[in-house]
Chain A
Amino acid sequence: MEEKRHTSSHYEKELQEIKNGLIYLGALTEKAIHAAMKSLSERNSDVAHEVIQADDEIDGLDTELEEKCIQILALRQPTAIDLRFITTAIKITGHLERIGDMAANIAEKALLLIEEPQLKPYIDLPRMTDLVAGMIRDSLDSFIRKDLHMAQKVQQTEQVIDDLNEQIFRELLTFMMEDSKSIHRSLMIMQVSKNLERIADHAKGIADMVTYMVTGECVRHQTYPLDEKEPA
């Protein structure tokens, strides 16, 4: 059902600004993750440095959005859906800020890995990257559209990422057992994978907050077993 507009158009505008800010922040983090993976797979240190620098903008936007939310809490004293929207927005901006940090972490690992010969072709990591970037996009879309179905899809995809991370971990373990010279690089790649897995956790955190915003129910700390078929 379409939301009616507030009697106060200023209030309406303030809420819209927060929505727009979150969409923009989400787009920045998504771009950062793709760029971080590109820096790794294409062994491009310039791109890695750009990702690390771009994190400052993400941090700045996070602070700005959080301040706007706090101002609305103090000055508008929101209730019901507005209250749930603002508390959700505060949490989402925090999640996105952490995602930005993790993209920068991946870029830092890429800089180290570029210094050494490539251990193996990267196949699963780019796949994971596409999936987690899609999770961020879907989680924010579910926020804007108040779409529980889309939020649920994100919650379920987190399990796919966990499984991929587990698989990469096992694969790298065999590399390390076979050749001790691969240990350093394997550990770096494991950390890249772990960062992607943590990003998926944050995207799920956003989807959980969307569920709260729409239903008023707290679903954090719940796990979502995969359906028979993997989400499209």
Chain B
Amino acid sequence: MDSNTIIQLSHVNFYYDQSRALTDISMGFMKNKVTALIGPSGCGKSTLLRLLNRMNDLIDGTRVEGEILFEDKNIYAQDVDPVEIRRKIGMVFQKPNPFPKTIYNNIAYGPKLTSTNHNDLDMLVEQSLKQAVLWDEVKDILNKSAMNLSGGQQQRLCIARALAMRPDILLMDEPTSALDPISTAKIEELIEELKKEYTIIIVTHNMQQAARISDETAFFYIGNLVEYNKTEKIFTKPDMKHTEDYITGRFG
């Protein structure tokens, strides 16, 4: 694994009971880059994303083969604590899912649970909200319920909540599919900023979004990694005919 790679998959297979959802995936994700995972529904891209922070552990009957190296250790090794992995590899979901708590407590909840030092909580909340470019909009209503925020604000709150855990990697599963174009633009702008400090892996059905925000793009089809390359290459001259047919909207 070279120094630019933060997480490396080697010959990963994934099964839901008897059915194989991912086939022999080997790929590395680059540090401080945005990588987009694209492909038709059911191609395995969200499954792969959830594998990276062991979210699939929560589904009965699933099985992983192969190796996912993060910080020189297989994250599926027996002695690895999945909770610790999820702290370092945060996740933002398709629909904003704030806790039914105040804005402040949405951010402070995780750090309070995992750390005994609560002195700097105010600063951590402020920093995280600033990083998610939400601070100016909510600084005067921190004790109001997060449920009153707009969808776009709620999604940025969820990003701030993930950032408060100081992760290395941020996984995003279609983070803007439920948002209007302005909120989407704000999140995309935010992703551009966040990659300076974090590694971002994003699943998106929006091809233009993948083209706009990602540095690298991986195209999946029926559980296989078809092509993985620089985004400008994928969207101007992909190597594989299959990739080209998919991104240009031709019949599969």
Residues of A within 8 A of B (CB): 1, 3-8, 11, 77-84, 215-216
Contact = CB atoms under 8 A, between A and B. Distances in A.
A1 B248 contact: no
Given A80-B235, A80-B236, 18 more contacts: A3-B250, A4-B245, A4-B251, A5-B250, A6-B248, A6-B249, A6-B250, A7-B251, A8-B249, A11-B249, A79-B211, A79-B236, A79-B247, A80-B244, A81-B244, A81-B248, A82-B248, A83-B235
Given A83-B235, A83-B236, A216-B236, A77 B249 contact: no
Contacts of A3: 250
Contacts, number: 43
A7 B235 contact: no
Interface of B: 207-208, 211, 234-238, 241, 243-245, 247-251
Contacts of A78: 248
Contacts of B244: 80-81
What's the dominant secondary structure at chain A's contact region? loop
Nearest to A216: B237
A7 B237 CA distance: 20
A82 B251 CA distance: 14
B251 to A, nearest CB: 5
Contacts of B208: 77
Contacts of B250: 3-7
A81 B251 CA distance: 15
B251 A79 contact: no
10 contacts: A4-B250, A5-B250, A6-B251, A7-B250, A11-B249, A78-B248, A79-B211, A79-B247, A83-B235, A84-B237
